[in-house]
Structure 1
Amino acid sequence: MFNRLCATCMTLFALIWLVPFVWAIATSLRSDGAITEHPTSLFAGGWSLHAYRYAWDNYPIGSWYLNSLVISALSVVFTVVLCSMAAFALVFLRFRGRAAILALVTAGLMLPSEALVLPQFIEYRSLHLLGTYWALVLPYAVAPVSVFVFHAFFRGIPMPLIEAARIDGASWWRVYATVAMPMCRPAAATVAILTFITSWNAFLWPLLVLNQTKAQTIPVGLSSLVSPSNIQYAEVMASSVLGFLPLVAVFLVFQRQIVQGIATTGIR
């Protein structure tokens, strides 16, 4: 009985997510005239790929894709490396102020990202990084949630294993690279995937720091396609489908790593 109830709830949640997804795809395959005449019908007017060809030929979607891919990939690399090193130091190294730093990291989990927009903008403007990829990559490199995920996983590594490596003459760099990191692949995969998705979907911060059309990311570029005077529904939906398809692909390919990482690190 309980299993059937869980399966029913999961099916309902899947349908709630699937209905707008199917609606967006169906709308992107119709013409604007058919959408205006029969807005609630998914099949009226027939289907075609005209909206996708129009969106790709008339907007720099390829450049937006490349920008989002480069920014997301760099964010993943810097986040995994720097946050894992910070968590490793907080768990295994003994130094003054460690508890205070951990408390600040924990407090950062409760701070909304919108509250950091103004100070970050002033900071990156003073560093002359506005309009560059680094203004979008560096904020993710010090994400408190990523440090917390690695910290939770490193705490599960047996301390005698680390001490044995140290007795054998391994430096802390070698312990980190050859002992700790290979054992925390689920956590690294979880942080990498969530960072990629968050960076790809980011809207407010890229909108503020990127001022050139071809330098924009997918979410910011898609927002510029919506005109209050003349909304081209099919083209907007086609561009939106092109924007979220990579995220669907990432989730489908790495869903096992996501579940394993969440189960191992205890994220809620």
Structure 2
Amino acid sequence: MNATWIKRLDLAGMAILIASLVLVVIWAFPIFWALLSTATPAETAGGFFRTYANVLFTTDLGRWYLNSIVTSGGVTIIVIAISSACGYAISQIEFTGRRLLWLLILGSFMIPVQALIVNHFFLVYQWGLLNTWLGVILPQLIAPIAAIVYKQFFDAIPREFGEAAFIDGAKHWQIFLKIYLPMNWGVTLALAIIVFIGAWNAFLWPFLAVTKPELMNVTVSIAEIRSYGVSGLAAAMMAGLPVAVIYLLFQRRITDAITMSVGITSDK
């Protein structure tokens, strides 16, 4: 009986392994195909690298990278700052409208950000922020999941920490910055990576908010790249390279953040 079960487990493990390998091949094939397609079969390795060198040095890719770094970094910093403060306030401070604010944050999941694009465009236009970094950043600050994650983790911290600090004369902002936030650096890092990657990959809003080529993000600029006479596919590969590197370096943190957010939203 035991031998039969062991045999079945071995067969099941082999089936899972084969299925995993098939999924890996399916996932990697588009990337492999894109790399091969950026150079013709007759080209040498030097020609292959020249294709990417042309994209890097004969276009404004450096400027587009800078635009993406500034806007994505700005979105990340502001979202983390606002969300952590909001999560702490809802979790630890008693104030009028606290429950209503929490319900509004939870209810915001019912409205996709894309449905607000027209309103965002008119507001940014009226404020004179089209073709500016700030105009790209502001509408991307809607990230309720970050506030929810922070609130749940602050709820898990024993209140004795805050009460002891209050007895010593600490203010709420001191307790938040010196006690609660340092206990959640892992959460902060994971959320920051997720927000940064999302802002870097954003296309629709940066495409609408910026019309000047020199102010475009790298993801939007791919549409303009052919005017430089270089490979559009190679440019697309280089546009996605930074987030691919970030994901490979911090994949465990990213997985943890996704797991936390899915678990929290499913509980709600």
State the TM bucket, normalised to the shorter chain: 0.7 to 0.9
Distance 2:203 2:144 in 1: 20
8 Å CA contact 2:194, 2:257 repeated in 1: no
- Larger deviation: 208-217 or 148-157? 148-157
How far 1:10 sits from its partner (Å)? 4.1
Where in structure 2 are the equivalents of 1:100-111 lying within 5 Å? 100-111=100-111
Question: Deviation per CA, 1:160-204, whole angstroms, max 9, x where unpaired?
Answer: 222222222211001100111111112211211111111111111
Distance 2:132 2:254 in 1: 30
Where in structure 2 are the equivalents of 1:63-212 lying within 5 Å? 63-212=63-212
TM-score, normalization by structure 1: 0.85
Question: Deviation per CA, 1:43-91, whole angstroms, max 9, x where unpaired?
Answer: 5654422321332343211111111011111111111111110111111
Equivalent residue number for residue 244 of structure 1? 240
Counterpart amino acid of residue 37 in structure 2: T
2:36 aligned with 1:26, yes or no? yes
Larger radius of gyration: 2
Distance 1:180 1:162 in 2: 8
Distance 2:158 2:86 in 1: 18
Give the share of equivalent positions with the same residue, in percent: 29
Gap regions ≥5 residues in structure 1: 32-42
8 Å CA contact 1:222, 1:236 repeated in 2: yes
**How many positions carry a matched residue from both structures?**
251
Counterpart amino acid of residue 88 in structure 2: F
Counterpart amino acid of residue 236 in structure 2: S
Counterpart amino acid of residue 127 in structure 1: W
Normalized per residue, the structure richer in helix is: 2
8 Å CA contact 1:189, 1:261 repeated in 2: no
Question: Deviation per CA, 1:28-52, whole angstroms, max 9, x where unpaired?
Answer: 2x13xxxxxxxxxxx5654422321
How far 1:26 sits from its partner (Å)? 1.8
Counterpart amino acid of residue 189 in structure 1: L
